[in-house]
Amino acid sequence: MSLKDLEELTSNAKQIQDDVLKEILTLNANTEYLHRFLHGSSDKELFKKNVPVVSYDDVKSYIERTANGGEPSDVISGKPITGFFLSSGTSGGKQKIFPINNKFFEDMTFIFALRSQIIFRHIKDVQEGKAITFFFVKPQSTTPSGLPVSNMLTGFLMSDYFKNRPSNRFTSPDEVTLCQENKQAMYCHLLCGLVQRDEVVSLAAAFASSLVGAITFLENYWKEMCSNIRSGHVSEWISDLSCRDSVSIILGGPNSELAELIEEECKKKSWKGIITRLWPKTKFIQTVVTGQNAQYIPILEFYSNKLPLISTAYGSSETIFGVNVNPLCKPEDVSYTFMPTMSYFEFLLADEGNNGEIVDLVNVKLGSYYEPLVTNYSGLHRYRMGDILQVTGFYNSAPQFRFVHRKSAVLSVSVEMTTEEDILKALNHAKLVLKPSHLILMGFTCYADISTHPAHYVFYWELKATNINDTVKLDEKMLVDCCCVMEESFCSLYREFRKKNGSIGALEIRVVAQGTFDSLMEFFISQGASVSQYKTPICINSSEALAVLEKSVIAHFFSDKSPPVGSKIQY
């Protein structure tokens, strides 16, 4: 793999996409699913005319039949299915599963190598250094047909593709990455990272929420880690023996000098820049901060003294889409260049007044909004992703997209629609109000409270003082102001309804106790979510999840005026 591949693939996007579709249709021509529409043909025009655009519920029964076994395996895929990915999306309250085969792991291997090459081209002298990589696995389950079911990252990490990777830059031994006890794995990831602090050039996690979780974990465990480093013995509660043995080797023996150095930094009043203080050679943080993970940008900038935050790739359980070829751009400018070999991509226009227009990858228009439709190598055909992307440019002939939002995440209590992007924008305005107060927003989520009249938006906030020893002081006026600026930034329909006919009530912030968002994560994990793929939901619908938040509410604040209607407020 070299950067020449990137040039070649992106220069021949059209031809490659045509070949990909031909290959998939030829492979799948006789599956039960495709035969219904194409009667054995692999013609592109017939595919476009006859094969319907589908959502999960349309293909669920085919996927479940494949998972349950006892039938010919070519229900949906000509190529044998070797496992399933459990996605973070849900259908009817149940997690979705997607069939996969080794092509997915080959694509992941390619993308991992490509994104490293891209980073090496932009950041000098990091090729030889190490990365503290917060990757975790969850125990796999099996389908009735005996195939493994796991989240995407677990599937990859447990495969031979990871085991036989050509180079290894992780500070953690594989025994830690593959330890199924996530708390033990987290402790060991951090301990190994601290011990090898002089070699560390980057920190990495799939999503920013995991990285913030790692620093919070360090806040609670640094004393114990220092004591391990001082004595040269790993804590007894690390009971996974292969994990323990491999970490003991890295620990090497007692090192009181290093323990003191780390203690010195961790006991300082503020944890501002803690990442660069503990790992002084760190040059970047590799983690996704686009989409809903954008909420973690300020806290990561605080912990890292504004090191570059690099969102390297955009992918899902359905397919990998592309990579960020401009890794040092600002987080808000990140675009992903689609890789034409991953799947066959079509795009459903999502602009206002759209008439169901679908275009091929190379025919998308600059500035337009689209929902990708995926035809992959493992049984999905014209599958609606539910993500909304905007075309920002082209790299050779391959389009680049900004991730706008996940379509399903919206708040609405009347006819207004508040998107994920609207919510994040409102939060940014509120953060400006918070700024002088030395409080940081550690976590948030929201829901539409329709039990009140009129119904209203509720935001749960977990706040933390920037100096770790300070307590959180809640200033009533400031928090009421936060409610007001959020309302002011919402769409005109929201403000209209809030004011005139009063069908939307005053926005409320419920401040929750510290640690609440960790409990929320634990709750979702207990329900089957994976640690490495976990993203705090922007909006919550589940009553059990809301109960977790409700029991920790320590204060309520309401907007005290209706927002201006008509003109857009500028900040």
Q: Which residues of this protein are in contact with ligand AMP, per CB under 6 A?
A: 87-88, 152, 288, 290-291, 311, 314-317, 385, 387, 403, 406, 533
Of 387 and 462, nearer to ligand AMP (C-beta) is 387
- Residue 353: CB minimum distance to ligand AMP, A: 24
CA distance 531 to 529: 7
Of 332 and 470, nearer to ligand AMP (C-beta) is 332
200 bridge partner residues: 130
- Residue 403: CB minimum distance to ligand AMP, A: 4
CA distance 499 to 563: 7
Of 307 and 374, nearer to ligand AMP (C-beta) is 374
Of 66 and 562, nearer to ligand AMP (C-beta) is 66
Query: Which 3 state secondary structure label does DSSP give 321?
Result: strand
- Residue 205: CB minimum distance to ligand AMP, A: 12
Of 175 and 422, nearer to ligand AMP (C-beta) is 422
> β-strand 83-91 against 148-150: which pairing, if any?
parallel
Of 17 and 317, nearer to ligand AMP (C-beta) is 317
- Residue 85: CB minimum distance to ligand AMP, A: 7
Helix then strand then coil, in percent of the chain rounded to 5, is 40, 20, 35
**Positions of E strands within 248-361:** 284-288, 309-310, 313-315, 320-323, 336-338, 344-349, 358-360
Of 315 and 443, nearer to ligand AMP (C-beta) is 315
- The tokens describing 187, both together, are 């402790």
**Positions of E strands within 92-225:** 94-100, 130-134, 141-142, 148-150, 200-207
The closest alpha carbon to 427, from 284, 351, 536, 518, belongs to: 536
- Residue 104: CB minimum distance to ligand AMP, A: 12
Burial class (CB in 10 A: 0-12, 13-18, 19+), 560: exposed
CA distance 104 to 378: 9
Of 234 and 538, nearer to ligand AMP (C-beta) is 538
Query: Residue 566 region, left (φ>0) first, then alpha (ψ -120 to 50), else beta?
Result: left
CA distance 27 to 247: 46
CA distance to 198, 254, 376, per residue, from 193 (Å): 9, 16, 38
Contact between 401 and 392 (Cβ < 8 Å): yes
- The 8-class DSSP code of residue 294 comes to G
* Dihedral sign of CA atoms 184, 190, 196, 199 in order: positive
The closest alpha carbon to 78, from 25, 20, 38, 16, belongs to: 25
- Residue 1: CB minimum distance to ligand AMP, A: 20
Q: Determine the longest span between alpha carbons in the chain, in angstroms.
A: 72
- Residue 429: CB minimum distance to ligand AMP, A: 21
Of 320 and 463, nearer to ligand AMP (C-beta) is 320
- Residue 286: CB minimum distance to ligand AMP, A: 12
- Residue 409: CB minimum distance to ligand AMP, A: 9
- Residue 536: CB minimum distance to ligand AMP, A: 13
Burial class (CB in 10 A: 0-12, 13-18, 19+), 559: buried
Of 434 and 446, nearer to ligand AMP (C-beta) is 446
27-66: b (≥16 Cβ within 10 Å) or e: bbbebebbeeebeebbeeeebeeebeebebeebbebbebb
- Residue 59: CB minimum distance to ligand AMP, A: 15
Of 235 and 324, nearer to ligand AMP (C-beta) is 324
Of 212 and 385, nearer to ligand AMP (C-beta) is 385
Please report where in the chains the tokens 């993203």 appear, as a residue: 535
The residue with its CB nearest to ligand AMP is 291
Angle at 461 between CA 459 and CA 466, to 5 degrees: 150
- Residue 98: CB minimum distance to ligand AMP, A: 8
Query: How close are the terminal C-alpha atoms of the chain, in Å?
Result: 45
- Residue 153: CB minimum distance to ligand AMP, A: 8
Of 169 and 402, nearer to ligand AMP (C-beta) is 402
